[in-house]
Amino acid sequence: MLETLQAFDVKILLLINGSHTPFWDEVMWFASGKLTWAPFYLTLIALLILKFKKNAAPMILLIGLLILMSDQLASGFFKPLVQRLRPSHEPGLAEMLHIVNGYRGGRYGFMSSHAANSYALAFYLTFVAARQLKWLPFVLIPWAFFVSLSRVYLGVHYPSDVLAPIIFSLLIAWLVSRLYYRITRHDNGFPRATS
């Protein structure tokens, strides 16, 4: 069973990574960059401040906690625990991959912190802000998917490395959203009744 899943993982990886062109190399390299999304994040923060006023402060501060939890669990817990080599470090497979700009990433790849962080942010803001900003999930979830896809395209993650964090991130996002509602005395976006 595990061998079948691994074979399928490799097949999808090679399909995505093998569909490379100079144009997509640039796009996917850009999508995986650490500072690429800084203007996007700043715009998002500005929108949250404009829309949520005083409630924006805990919402934004909890994003810091969310990303810390997500990143540390993905990189600090799962990667050393599972010790699954990235495709770009896997003997016999690495030679078959198209590597962009010589980038191979760290030794272990499960699970992708890029995917975990992106999905955690997308789900968290969907839980806490989508009632007022209905379009938000339609931007953030495709964005998280795009960032995750870029990691497979670059050959530094298997598809399962970027799919597993979806469930993991959903749980973290839900927990942090509960904390946000407790801090702001709201329940699912509605003020709590006071006695």
- Domain count within the chain: 1
Q: What is the mean pLDDT of residues 22-34?
A: 94
Residue 70 lies in a domain: yes
Type and span of the H or E element at 158: none
Give 91-106 pLDDT, tens digit per residue.
Answer: 999 999 999 999 999 9
Does any domain span residue 4?
no
Contact 183, 58 (CB under 8 A): yes
Q: What is the pTM of this model?
A: 0.89
The pLDDT > 90 percentage for the chain reads 87
Quick one: pLDDT at residue 191? Answer: 43
Residue 193 has pLDDT above 50, yes or no: no
Q: What is the pLDDT of residue 190?
A: 45
Residue 6 lies in a domain: no
Evaluate whether residue 7 is within a structural domain: no
State the pLDDT at residue 192: 43
Tokens standing for residue 97: 């991959």
34-62 residue pLDDT tens: 889 999 999 999 999 999 999 999 999 99
Asked if residue 13 is part of any domain, the answer here is: no
Hey, CA dihedral for 158, 108, 26, 96, is it positive or negative? negative
Per-residue confidence at 6, pLDDT binned at 50, 70, 90? confident
> Does residue 36 form part of some domain?
yes
More confident residue, 84 or 192: 84
Residue 101 counted as domain residue:
yes
**CA–CA separation, 114 and 120 (whole Å):** 10
Rg over alpha carbons for the chain, rounded to the nearest Å, is 18
- pLDDT tens-place string over residues 120-149: 999 999 999 999 999 999 999 999 999 999
Q: Which tokens belong to 157?
A: 């993650």
**% of the chain residues with pLDDT over 70:** 94
pLDDT band, residue 195 (cuts 50/70/90) = very low
Range of the domain at 94: 21-189
